[in-house]
Amino acid sequence: MKKRTITGVFLALILIFALVMRGWVFSLLWVGALCVALYELLHAFSLAGHRPVGLPSWVALLVGIPVFTFVQSKSSLYLLAVFVFCAFVAICVQVMFRSEPKIDDMLVSLLPMNMLLFPGLCMLSLLGIQDVALSKMLMWLVFIIPAATDVGAYHIGTKYGKTKLIPQISPNKTVEGALGGLLTGVLGAIVVYLVALSQNVALPPWWHILLLGFIGAILAQVGDLFASLIKRHCNVKDFGHIFPGHGGMMDRLDSILIVVVLIFLYQVTL
């Protein structure tokens, strides 16, 4: 627990630094985190006996995202679509021309790219919102909702959890923990909104934030369970070990990657 707490504080400080600095500092750290997560996913699938094709995903991530970030225009979207399409074709061709082509290898090659690329772009789109106050609040929601949900689910589940949620995927998760995470996720969203409100800037209606917190807390747990399903398939406890007590980068991003899409889609509708 002590190791987990110390690591959590360290990660929180890095996150605060990135969100305060914004700009290229956040973008660089975000792309770096996605690269580590991509490596962890490909490595996990390799441990399960698959032979994932990684190069096209690396190219799409390392070239496609910077292009989108620094060339915010319709042409960048077209170019990004070309990168993604070429990566998809390259993966399919590489697998098909193997001596023993397997559909599983194709699927585990496509999954990491889809899990990381679009959510990665959603985050950078939120960073690029011209209304800086709105951008800051939405980006804080992306990180606070999953974090608050995770903390609530962990502590409430540990203390009061009795009813197993989905034991075939994650034996330790309970219904009580999930409900606790739902509550703390909403509370986390409310805290972010109140802090933003104190800055005397124009913000969306309060009930929007409640709804985002509620849906976000549910999706955060869906993302966590999906990551658990992958780990169970690959027979690994964590995706990595770079964060003592917290596992790997993908273990920290699993919920964020789905919540950021929710916040992005909400922002598009404003």
Question: What is the DSSP code string of 199-217?
Answer: TT-----HHHHHHHHHHHH
CA distance 220 to 171: 18
How many other CB atoms are there within 10 angstroms of residue 131's CB atom? 14
CA distance 102 to 160: 44
Tokens of 193: 């909104």
pLDDT reported for residue 1: 62
Could you tell me if 163 and 175 are in contact, meaning their C-beta atoms sit under 8 angstroms apart?
A: yes
Could you tell me if 249 and 178 are in contact, meaning their C-beta atoms sit under 8 angstroms apart?
A: no
- 267: Cβ contacts below 8 Å, ≥ 6 apart: 125, 126, 129, 134, 138
Q: Which stretches in the chain have pLDDT values below 70? A: 1, 68-77, 79-80
- 214: Cβ contacts below 8 Å, ≥ 6 apart: 182, 185, 186
- Rounded-to-10 torsion of CA 213, 218, 222, 228: 90
Convert 18-42 to b/e letters by CB count within 10 Å (16 or more is b). Answer: bbeeeeeebbebbbebbbbbbbbbb
Residue 47 vs residues 6, 50, 179: alpha-carbon distances, Å: 29, 7, 34
pLDDT reported for residue 69: 67
Q: State pLDDT tens for residues 25-48.
A: 998 899 999 999 999 999 999 999
pLDDT reported for residue 77: 62
Could you tell me if 40 and 249 are in contact, meaning their C-beta atoms sit under 8 angstroms apart?
A: yes
pLDDT reported for residue 180: 96
The label of the residue with tokens 């919540």 reads 259
Span between the terminal Cα atoms of the chain, in Å: 41
Mean pLDDT of all residues in the chain? Answer: 89
pLDDT reported for residue 72: 58
CA distance 136 to 205: 16
- 221: Cβ contacts below 8 Å, ≥ 6 apart: 149, 153, 178, 181, 182, 255
